[in-house]
Structure 1
């Protein structure tokens, strides 16, 4: 009995890693899905808007569209998780079939050994078998055979117990994964129902806006004027910042040339003491002067520190934090695109618009230096330089940094403006530039 207990304990220890493997997969999928689920649940509160006038309805449509996109992304994640679990189920079923086949084989071998022992069960028969040998050597071999067969039979019994325990564990693991799959399928159906309701709400909102075509075009024209005014100011400040960076690089290059010239003068002085021909010294000095003129001023655009910061920024592409605190919805994407369902409604966004909760803060996406803080239409806008990359944070009611400040990743830059006339709608307009080049920020952010 004690031996059987030890065997069962050892089987359990061997099988724990197998069971833990599926548990780990399920937990990893649940963790990734949980983050998205929390984001969607929290962002649903951002959809509460009165939707009375055209501006509010247009903003509400943008928020609803962003929420629908988030839910579609979540459903896609569920689909991917279902596929992963189905692959795990297929693998577990193959393993179970193999274990059951091995168990059957071991049981057959064990039955054969038990039947043989049953036929030769008495001590007298074993002794007769041993002492009926014709020589001492044969007697020794028969004695060893009897002992080894008894050991073999015992081991066969232990193997059967081990394999049976493996089969039981694999069945339990299979049931656990099947339950996880069933839960996912139910969750997917629930999310699809919510998505269908939101798309129906969107159609109703679009139909309402279609009846207000004139007011809609006026609202869009107003938004374009404000955007053009903001982008012109940003472009001008970025051009100034690029010029400052070029001058910093030139100054660094000038200091390096002066250091090189001093070093060349020191070498010349040392050479003069060695009584070398004057012509040789003159030739060497001329050669050194030529070396100092290899890189003209125009070739310098970034200082050494800026180049290092730029490299670090690029290495974090796709890992940068969202520039807003708390739950959020991306309500307007980068580039030119039409609004689904509305005729002649085209948007051109130089960045992205991110809606958050009232009180949300704008935060730096990476280490850098505040290049500019300016006000436009009573709201603050901040530019942060990260080498030759510049992140832009607009529509702030207050700024907690000033020009020249060094900032760190996720540091608060100021509070985002909440529009009291539009149910406290809180939207951060965020841009990303590589010098003058406008970039799509979404591939750089970790969502």
Structure 2
């Protein structure tokens, strides 16, 4: 009985580190999906009931499209996790096959040693084998052989027990990974079902909008006019900011040149010779701006989302057609991010507020990060002013919530490198 208890104890202690390996993999995959899962659940609350106005339906279509994209991204994540689990299952099966082969070999060796001992099982036979030696040295060798063979047999038995324990642990690990795979398959099917329902809803919404082609074109034209007006103002302010930065850099270069001339003049005065002044260097940015630009670039892909709380990207950067709607083309200089009412716009990096301006009753903020400028539009209030220094994730103001459209809350965000327009999605962490 005591031997059985010891064996069970060894089985448990040996199984723990083996199980931990697959546990770690499963836990890592679950953690990666966890953030996406949370994002999906929270963004579902952002989908508004469809109203009859063309503007509301168009906004609803954008939000629904964003949600569908998030769900597709989540299903892709599940597929990648399934591949990782399949690889783990293949590895475990190979390890199990190897362990079983090793166990078989050890059992065969053990059986051979048992058969040998059975043939020479009596004490008298062992003593006769030892004392029939021709001399003392041979007697010692035979005595040592008998002892070592007994030790060998005991070790063989222990090795068999150890292999059995390893097989049991590996089988438990295999079972656990199979359960994780089954759970993931169910989750994928559930997500596919939700995706199909949302795509059906999207088709219905597009069909409704197609019936209102004139109203749709009018709404698109209105949005385009507002966007052009906003972008023209942003372009002008950025041009002014670039000019200010150039003047700061020139002033810094002048100060450095004057300091060099003074230093060289002191040296030439002591030696009695005259030296030519070094030419003035041209810089578009000051040293501080250059350093900040370098730090900003090194954080590409790791910058926080410019809005607090759950979010959906409802409109992407660049020119694109709206799926299912003929002749509906959009040109976005940034991205549109929908959040919950009360969401705050927040700085994506350390910088200085270059401008705060109002357009059509709403606030817009430009923050300079060296050569880079981040732009936050469609705010109902601003909590910073021009010239303020801001830190990463610092609140800049409250994003406007449209009461006439179910409290829809959308931040328009742009990223520039001086006058060059950049796609913000490649810079933000998701």
Q: TM-score, normalised to structure 1's length?
A: 0.94
Matched with 1:270 is: 270
What is the Cα deviation at residue 2 of structure 1? 7.1
* Contact 1:373-1:382 within 8 A present in 2 as well: yes
Matched with 1:313 is: 296
Q: CA RMSD in A?
A: 1.5
Q: Deviations over 1:314-351 (max 9, x none)?
A: 11111111111111110000000000000100000000
* Contact 1:49-1:56 within 8 A present in 2 as well: no
Q: How does 1:38-437 map to 2 (within 5 A)?
A: 38-272=38-272, 281-282=273-274, 285-286=275-276, 289=277, 292-293=278-279, 295-296=280-281, 299-437=282-420
Structure 1, unaligned runs of 5 or more = 273-280
CA distance in 2 between partners of 1:2 and 1:254 (Å) = 90
CA distance in 2 between partners of 1:316 and 1:438 (Å) = 18
CA distance in 2 between partners of 1:13 and 1:438 (Å) = 60
Matched with 2:36 is: 36
CA distance in 2 between partners of 1:128 and 1:332 (Å) = 94
Q: Deviations over 1:223-275 (max 9, x none)?
A: 00000000001001101111111111111111110111111011112213xxx
CA distance in 1 between partners of 2:226 and 2:371 (Å) = 27
* Contact 1:65-1:202 within 8 A present in 2 as well: yes
CA distance in 1 between partners of 2:18 and 2:202 (Å) = 47
- For the residue of structure 1 that corresponds to 2:215, the secondary structure is helix
* Contact 2:333-2:421 within 8 A present in 1 as well: yes
CA distance in 2 between partners of 1:355 and 1:364 (Å) = 17
Q: TM-score, normalised to structure 2's length?
A: 0.97
- For the residue of structure 2 that corresponds to 1:398, the secondary structure is strand
* Contact 2:11-2:169 within 8 A present in 1 as well: no
Greater mean deviation of Cα atoms: 122-131 or 185-194: 122-131
CA distance in 2 between partners of 1:379 and 1:85 (Å) = 50
Greater mean deviation of Cα atoms: 302-311 or 5-14: 5-14
CA distance in 2 between partners of 1:347 and 1:380 (Å) = 23
Q: Deviations over 1:117-154 (max 9, x none)?
A: 22222221111110010111100000000111111111
* Contact 1:396-1:415 within 8 A present in 2 as well: yes
Moved over 4 A (4+): 1-15
* Contact 2:10-2:165 within 8 A present in 1 as well: no
